[in-house]
A and B are shown apart, each in its own frame.
Chain A
Amino acid sequence: MQIDVRKVANLARIRLTDDEASALGPQLNHILAYVDSLQQLDTRNVMPTAHPHDAAMPLRADIAANSNRREALQAPAPATDSGLYVVPKVIE
């Protein structure tokens, strides 16, 4: 198995310089070759573990709360306007 670094970087929304891509390719394939040791194990009929204690997702009480802190939460944003996040134009 060989990773197509450019394709995966595109999925991950990371632009890579040519230097980065040529360094990362062999490294990722090396890591992948190592984790491929998992394929040696027979895991038929083994349930996957997502949460270490198989805990059920808890539900909180259905009580209304006002947690509108828009200004504080938007304070770290690079660009906002009238409570909205500003990004480059997406519609022509």
Chain B
Amino acid sequence: MPFTPLHAWKQRLDTGALTAVDVAKLYLERIARFNDRLNAFVHLDAEHVLAQAAASDTHRAKHGPRPLEGLPIAVKDIFCTQDGPTQCCSRILKGFHAPYDAHVITLLKQAGAVLVGKTNMDEFAMGSSNETSAFGPARNPWNEACTPGGSSGGSATAVAAALAPAALGTDTGGSIRQPAALTGTVGMKPTYGRVSRRGIIAFASSLDQAGPMAGCVRDAAMVAAAISGHDPMDATSVADAPAVDWLGACDTTDMQGLRIGRPKEYFVDGMHAGVQEAIDAALAQCERLGATIVDISLPHTEYAVAAYYVIAPSEASANLARYDGVRFGHRNTDPGDLFDLYTRSRDEGFGAEVKRRILTGTFALSSGYYDAYYKKAQQVRTLIRQDFLDAFGQVDVIATPTSPMPAFRLGEKTDDPLTMYLSDIFTIALNLAGLPGMSQPCGFADGLPVGLQWIAPAWREDVLLSAAAAFEAATDWHSRQPETYR
């Protein structure tokens, strides 16, 4: 029952077999039972969840169902919500209550969704293991000694352990897709500009994008459909974005005529052998479904992580300048003067990884270094974009592993920041290019889930969904559940 997909819950609610309150109660019980072990949620107001569910049942009775009527959706702690705290899992935002809802939160409410709690994440979404969270790491339901990945680790854990049927995450360099891969769930990063960024606490403005995390492809599409669309209040939200038939794309059951690019740079020495095997088997399955696998090259791939770790920290250093102890957030209690107020509030409020990124970015933007670092990285970004444009002249979609390894152990990569950065080696390039990407479960390595990543041309989320839906229809990886949480 708890692993019921979102679309099946919708059906049961629509036929009147049960109410939104019934569904909410079921998940609240699961959270009460398992969250101490998994640390997926950092805030939960059960009464408020039940009140939303009851209001949804009333709305259904009076006006009929909206697209997500009564469906519980967990929300990453990065989305501003008027209800409850929004803390971005940082000490500097401890106790912060947002004065407005993020646009996507408004859209979910308008679609009838029941918003469940705030999920754990790396502080300000800076991390790949959820270990930089001020609330401690979320744990992977497949092995609690392992990380669920990050930064949207709490959302991934919540879906993987069926503490919620779907969740919202954000993805700046892989923060939806990598945790989806490590927890055996489905995660999609839409095309940059598809989803409004207003009210989502900014990390790197030219890369950040919100997206769904769910148990199957159709569920991800349902949430994506609800949160997409132009927002005139976000200058980076694209007004004339081509529309997508989100749900129609999920009806695809074969890959006849589909040309899938297999970029040689994503099949590297040092990749976990079990991951390699699972991906090879997945691509063989795609061929059986009618696809043609085409060997391609994305020649500037090896520079993506370096370009990202200039661009993202640079933008972060500017975005996080607003945390100054004056307008919101933590404030040092005994400052000598204004400068002291700024520097001590920020020292006390930010964790080590956030400081590293702010300092890296401040350096890259500082006088005398801007051209050598930030501008150079933006030029390399152009080359990476061009790689993809060239590749999509030959193929419809690109398939790669989402992560070079399955879930790693908590503490395994915390000593050396660079080792952690390199765990995102396969997810970062498409953020730089603004492209849509998706991870879906495609096998296991060492008993832990492996993710298959799809990359499509800009605005072609339907291509991602079609390919992923066809793969899902032919396999049962998405319906595997971690034993402890069945």
Instruction: Please report A residues at the B interface, Cβ cutoff 8 Å.
Output: 3, 5, 8-9, 11-17, 20, 23-24, 27-28, 30-32, 34-39, 41, 43, 46-53, 55, 57-58, 60, 69, 72-79, 85, 87-90
Contacts and interface: CB of A to CB of B under 8 A. Distances in A.
Contacts of B434: 51-53
Given A38-B380, A53-B238, A15 B363 contact: no
Given A17-B347, A73-B99, 10 more contacts: A12-B358, A13-B324, A16-B355, A31-B418, A32-B363, A37-B306, A41-B300, A55-B236, A72-B100, A87-B338
Contacts, number: 175
A48 B375 contact: yes
Interface of B: 96-100, 192-193, 206, 232, 235-236, 238-239, 300, 302-303, 305-307, 309-310, 317, 321, 324-329, 331, 335-344, 346-347, 350, 352, 355-356, 358-360, 362-363, 366, 372-373, 375-383, 385, 416-418, 421, 432-435, 458
Contact of A47 (B236, B302, B377, B382): B382
A40 B358 CA distance: 25
A53 B237 CA distance: 11
Contacts of A76: 96-99, 327-329
Task: Indicate the member of A12, A17, A78 with the most B CB atoms within 10 Å.
Answer: A12
B338 A30 contact: no
Contacts of A85: 326-327
A89 B45 CA distance: 40
Contact of A38 (B310, B341, B385): B310
B350 A38 contact: no
A55 B193 contact: yes
A13 B363 contact: no
A23 to B, nearest CB: 8
Contact of B356 (A31, A35, A53, A77): A31
Contacts of A31: 309, 356, 360, 417-418, 421
A63 to B, nearest CB: 11
B465 to A, nearest CB: 20
A69 B82 CA distance: 14
B413 to A, nearest CB: 13
Contacts of B331: 78-79
A69 to B, nearest CB: 7
A76 to B, nearest CB: 4
B366 A11 contact: yes
28 contacts: A3-B359, A5-B359, A8-B359, A11-B362, A12-B317, A12-B359, A13-B321, A13-B343, A14-B359, A16-B347, A28-B356, A28-B359, A34-B418, A35-B307, A38-B306, A48-B375, A48-B382, A51-B434, A58-B235, A75-B97, A76-B98, A76-B328, A76-B329, A87-B326, A87-B338, A87-B341, A88-B336, A89-B337
Task: Indicate the member of B341, B356, B359, B382 with the most A CB atoms within 10 Å.
Answer: B359
Contacts of B193: 52-53, 55
Nearest to A79: B331
B383 A46 contact: yes
Please give me the 5 A-B residue pairs with the lowest Cβ-Cβ distance, nearest first: A52-B434, A48-B378, A15-B343, A43-B379, A78-B331
B206 A27 contact: no
Given A3-B363, A5-B359, A17-B347, A38 B235 contact: no
A17 B355 CA distance: 12
A46 B376 CA distance: 9
Contacts of A3: 359, 363
B344 A34 contact: no
A60 B326 CA distance: 30
A58 B346 contact: no
A14 B358 contact: yes
A90 B338 contact: yes
Task: Indicate the member of B340, B372, B376 with the most A CB atoms within 10 Å.
Answer: B376
Contacts of B347: 14-17, 20
A77 B326 contact: yes
A8 to B, nearest CB: 5
Contacts of A52: 192-193, 206, 385, 432-435, 458
Contacts of B421: 31, 34
Task: Indicate the member of B324, B379, B418 with the most A CB atoms within 10 Å.
Answer: B379
A31 B192 CA distance: 27
Contact of A58 (B239, B310, B326): B239
A24 B432 CA distance: 27
Contact of B376 (A20, A27, A43): A43
A38 B382 contact: no
Nearest to A3: B363
A90 B239 CA distance: 44
A68 B366 CA distance: 36
A72 B99 contact: yes
